[in-house]
Structure 1
């Protein structure tokens, strides 16, 4: 956790780019941010350890090796508990705010009902974040200042990739608790891949990802319990040659979920995911124009 007095818009997310992009892939880590504005922490009733429970902690570091294979990696710096860019821009719970939300806000989504809208009400599905109501202005300001620039940058990266290679592949990277809700003895798979039940990417991309991950020794599940969030659903347009696949990594593989610290073997595990990405990007997936091209970093 990094406590910042003020989160400047230019510090809200980062993009690690190779000198030359050699593959039509863009990797994204929207939930690994750990820069907490001090005003946000002051408004929360949770202690510093508890408020971090919704982080996909260290996923950006876990996937950092993709850059050496010729693909960019975008990462949020703000925490998911502060603002969730894997939601529609205005999935907002009216019970959280002292004023009236704008008419275009989506106040009835399943995610809002669960307390996990664009401005989350809870972490870990049950722990209330705020000690008092927020103003509507606060929500709109977060969305305008951080959410919209984040997605504008992601769209630009995908558009540039598609223009250079004829198609683009977005790998949206997340992590998940090691145990299922309601039963610590029922352990999840090592990896859950989500393609929105076959709608967000070519089946060839999904099949290649499964084969590589299983060859690396991982137990892989598909779409259950995570089929992909807003980013996967919104950007995945296979008929337009833009493919999106969500990957959820079991946190028990690489971190201590109690202390929120990486395990001693973290670097070795990161090397394995770098190997996965490198092998995936070399697959002849037949997703579109396969001309050998490159995209120089800006």
Structure 2
């Protein structure tokens, strides 16, 4: 299976497109050593969000690494942040600008199309089907895009990121009332810094599937990995940190469910 999926009963689907760590053997053979480190993975999010089953939420998590293909990029590979540096549909370098592929082994257009069909499309087919199911059942559904990133990545932003970075495509992907509910819950705790539509405004999934008119409201949360794990290899999970941010996550997601049901 190309993803891990669990169907829930409440009007919430949590998507984790960058948690995958598997790389097919034929692609792994073309990677430079840095590619096998998988440094740019959204590490441990399934563990961090491990309470979702108790809440009755649907979950969808990637199997394949973003180095195989980035599930949160548009299939035509347009830049989501015009004028700013970003990685593409099939990345050729790491966030630290290290070449991902051995010399002459980077994917050509035919290979990109092959990966789109084999690895990108199944995730999106499942995502669309589950949104449609939940929408038919509830009339309104929240799509929560769960992401994480190192708190300092000079390639993409200056200094240290806020702890919790919400993206709603500058308000286009969800009702403003939903944004207010979840960010109020984030700020109420007082221990974590918050940004809304700052450096991260939501990727392809947030922008493409977030359609407030028909009833699909999408929110991306890009968390600093420093809130729950070690940011250096071997990228260990830190229960002592995670137990501080998990209640905030749970409160935000419950607020999203309650809003969708209202």
TM-score, with structure 2 as normaliser: 0.88
Query: Could you tell me whether the CA contact under 8 Å between 2:86 and 2:156 is conserved in 1?
Result: no
Q: Deviations over 1:108-161 (max 9, x none)?
A: 775798462211111115111112243433222211011111101100000111
Q: Distance in 2 between matches of 1:109 and 1:281?
A: 26
2:94 to 99, 102, 123: 123
Alignment of 1:194-233 (within 5 A): 194-216=167-189, 217-233=191-207
Question: How many aligned positions are there?
Answer: 258
C-alpha separation between the residues in 2 aligned to 1:266 and 1:151?
32
Q: Say yes or no: does 1:145 pair with 2:113.
A: no
Relative to structure 2, which stretch is displaced further, 23-32 or 267-276? Answer: 267-276
Which whole-Å CA distance do the structure 1 matches of 2:83 and 2:96 have between them?
11
Correspondence 1:185-264 to 2 at 5 A: 186-216=159-189, 217-259=191-233, 260-264=235-239
Structure 2 CA distance, aligned partners of 1:124 and 1:182? Answer: 7
- Take 2:160 and 2:132, find their aligned partners in 1: how far apart are those partners? 38
Distance 1:180 1:115 in 2: 11
Q: Which moved more, 1:30-39 or 1:169-178?
A: 30-39
Q: Deviation per CA, 1:161-204, whole angstroms, max 9, x where unpaired? A: 11000011100010121125279993221100001111110111
Which residue of 132, 135, 138 corresponds with 1:162? 135
Q: Cα distance 1:84–1:137, how it changes in 2: closer, same or farther (>3 A)? A: same
Distance 1:208 1:149, change over 3 A: same
Cα distance in 2 between the residues matched to 1:115 and 1:183? 7
In 2, distance between residues paired with 1:184 and 1:168? 32
Q: Does 1:276 align with 2:251?
A: yes
CA distance in 2 between counterparts of 1:109 and 1:271 reads 29
Larger C-alpha radius of gyration, 1 or 2?
1
* Structure 1 residue corresponding to 2:18, chosen from 13, 17, 31: 31
Q: Quote the Cα distance in structure 1 between the aligned partners of 2:156 and 2:217.
A: 34
| Aligned counterparts of 1:199 and 1:182: Cα–Cα separation in 2 | 27
> How far off its partner does 1:223 sit?
1.1
Identify, as 1 or 2, the structure richer in strand. Answer: 1
Q: 1:89 aligns with which of 65, 69, 75?
A: 75
RMSD (CA atoms) = 2.6
Q: Name the CA distance, whole Å, in 1 between partners of 2:113 and 2:126.
A: 19
**Does residue 13 of structure 1 match 2:3?**
yes
Q: Is the 8 A contact 2:151 2:161 kept in 1?
A: yes
Conserved 8 A contact 2:206-2:220: yes
* 109 and 24 in structure 1: CA distance in 2 versus 1, 3 angstrom threshold: closer
Corresponding residue number in structure 2 for 1:57: 43
Q: How far apart in 2 are the matches of 1:184 and 1:237?
A: 28
Kindly tell me: are residues 130 and 114 of structure 1, through their superposed partners in 2, closer, same or farther at Cα, counting changes over 3 Å? Answer: farther
Alpha carbons of structure 1 residues 141 and 273: separation in structure 2 relative to 1, 3 Å: farther
Mapped to 2, the partners of 1:206 and 1:113 lie a distance apart of 25
